[in-house]
């Protein structure tokens, strides 16, 4: 995925091994819960007749518990998606609140005052606080087969405390499939997928998908660049590795394809002197905390010279979507309008 100042893809492998030494006692006192093998019931169902709970996650693991988990800890964006389905979590990790105390974009409409924030940036996870929550389940996403936002130095300690489930948002995943899998997990945790709010949100998502398809047909040839700004570099993402971009492409969106991907295969990094290497009609700009936004980018002369910027055709990209139909419908509606209104300037 595109790099931000808090992205683990630029730091994984550089983090020192080990971790905080004083945690062994806390882990032992809480008592680890290893993932049991096997498990009854289908992957999207909750408690079985025996009262046990089972869910097969996107890492291929059958995650089980003696009963439906109640003390849930999740990556902030995943917690926000579960919240949209009525599933509450006790703790979160990942970008949750901004410096002024307001909810981060990845928190969505979740009430962050009612959750324990275990870490607010990458490589920050308070294992002692996590243990104190006596977690039944940890939930996050996965881009590359790893647990998103779990620090390398402490992930083994974290994973000993409770079963963990991951939903794929990269690799072979597409937005619609990631939504289905998140909804299935929510259902297993007690969500009612037949509620009016959920049914209406799904219908809105499907209608929004149709709007994008219609917009690309009505305004063909519009080239879309997916970018992320940092102090020294401008990152151009490939649509081939992210669930949302692959889905947009299936709806007819024409993306700029970077030629030389960095290690990891998510983006090409360009110096600001070379920010104009690729011509585009619309720029989808990374909206995450820690990346440069349009006001900050005004200080970059080459940014101001990009044709899409001159034309005012820059749209925020929700780089890490909240995988609920409610939140993703809005993303598609905004994308459809951007393409529909765009003028060919490249």
Q: 41 near 141, Cβ under 8 Å?
A: no
pLDDT tens-digit profile of 2-33? 334 344 444 333 222 223 323 333 333 333 33
User: Is the confidence at residue 53, as pLDDT, over 90?
Assistant: yes
What is the predicted pLDDT for the residue at 46? 38
Give the pLDDT band of residue 272 (cuts 50, 70, 90).
very high
What is the predicted pLDDT for the residue at 32? 37
User: Is the confidence at residue 117, as pLDDT, over 90?
Assistant: yes
For residues 112-132, average pLDDT: 97
Three-class secondary structure of residue 152 per DSSP: coil
Q: How many CB atoms lie within 10 A of CB 253?
A: 23
User: Is the confidence at residue 39, as pLDDT, over 50?
Assistant: no
What is the predicted pLDDT for the residue at 237? 96
What is the predicted pLDDT for the residue at 43? 39
pLDDT tens-digit profile of 288-337? 988 999 999 999 999 999 999 999 999 999 999 999 999 999 999 999 99
What is the predicted pLDDT for the residue at 35? 36
pLDDT tens-digit profile of 174-207? 999 999 999 999 999 999 999 999 999 999 999 9
What is the predicted pLDDT for the residue at 263? 80
For residues 213-225, average pLDDT: 98
For residues 253-275, average pLDDT: 94
pLDDT tens-digit profile of 227-249? 999 999 999 999 999 999 999 99
- Alpha-carbon gap, residue 42 to 55, rounded angstroms: 7
What is the predicted pLDDT for the residue at 289? 87
What is the predicted pLDDT for the residue at 264? 82
What is the predicted pLDDT for the residue at 51? 79
Q: Which residues of 27-51 are buried (b: 16+ CB within 10 A; e: fewer)?
A: beebeebebeeebebebbebbeeee
- C-beta pairs of 305-310 under 8 Å, 24+ apart in sequence: 305/276, 306/275, 306/276, 306/280, 307/279, 307/280, 307/281, 307/345, 307/346, 308/225, 308/280, 308/281, 308/282, 308/283, 308/345, 308/346, 309/283, 310/345
175-188 and 243-250 helices cross at what angle (nearest 10)? 130
User: Across the chain, what does the average pLDDT equal?
Assistant: 88
Q: The tokens 């044709």 sit on which residue?
A: 307
- Alpha-carbon gap, residue 228 to 292, rounded angstroms: 7
What is the predicted pLDDT for the residue at 2? 37
């Amino acid at each position: 995925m595109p790099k931000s100042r808090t992205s683990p893809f630029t730091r994984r492998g550089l983090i020192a091994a080990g971790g905080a030494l004083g945690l062994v006692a806390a882990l032992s006192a809480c008592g680890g819960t290893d993932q049991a093998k096997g498990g009854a019931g289908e992957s999207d169902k909750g408690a079985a007749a025996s009262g046990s709970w089972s869910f097969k996650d996107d890492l291929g693991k059958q995650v089980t518990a003696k009963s439906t988990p109640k003390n849930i800890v999740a990556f902030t964006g995943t917690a926000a998606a579960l919240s949209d389905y009525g599933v509450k979590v006790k703790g979160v990790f990942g970008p949750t609140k901004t410096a002024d105390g307001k909810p981060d974009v990845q928190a969505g409409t979740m009430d962050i005052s009612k959750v324990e924030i275990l870490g607010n940036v990458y490589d920050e996870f308070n294992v002692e606080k996590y243990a104190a929550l006596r977690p039944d389940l940890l939930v996050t996403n996965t881009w590359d087969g790893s647990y998103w936002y779990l620090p390398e130095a402490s992930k083994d300690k974290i994973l000993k405390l409770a079963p963990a489930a991951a939903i794929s948002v990269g690799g072979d995943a597409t937005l619609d499939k990631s939504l289905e899998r998140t909804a299935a997990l929510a259902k297993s945790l007690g969500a009612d997928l037949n509620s009016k709010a959920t049914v209406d949100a799904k219908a809105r998502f499907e209608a929004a998908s149709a709007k994008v398809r219609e917009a690309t047909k009505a305004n063909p040839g519009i080239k879309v660049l997916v970018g992320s700004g940092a102090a020294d570099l401008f990152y151009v993402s490939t649509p081939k590795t992210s669930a949302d971009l692959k889905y947009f492409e299936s709806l007819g969106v024409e993306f700029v394809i970077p030629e030389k991907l960095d290690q990891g295969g998510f983006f090409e990094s360009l110096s600001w002197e070379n920010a104009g290497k690729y011509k585009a009609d619309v720029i989808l700009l990374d909206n995450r905390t820690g990346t440069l936004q349009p006001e900050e980018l005004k200080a970059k002369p080459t940014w101001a010279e990009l044709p899409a910027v001159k034309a005012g055709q820059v749209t925020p990209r929700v780089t890490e979507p909240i995988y609920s139909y409610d939140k993703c419908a809005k993303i598609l509606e905004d994308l459809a309008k951007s393409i529909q209104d765009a003028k060919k300037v490249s």
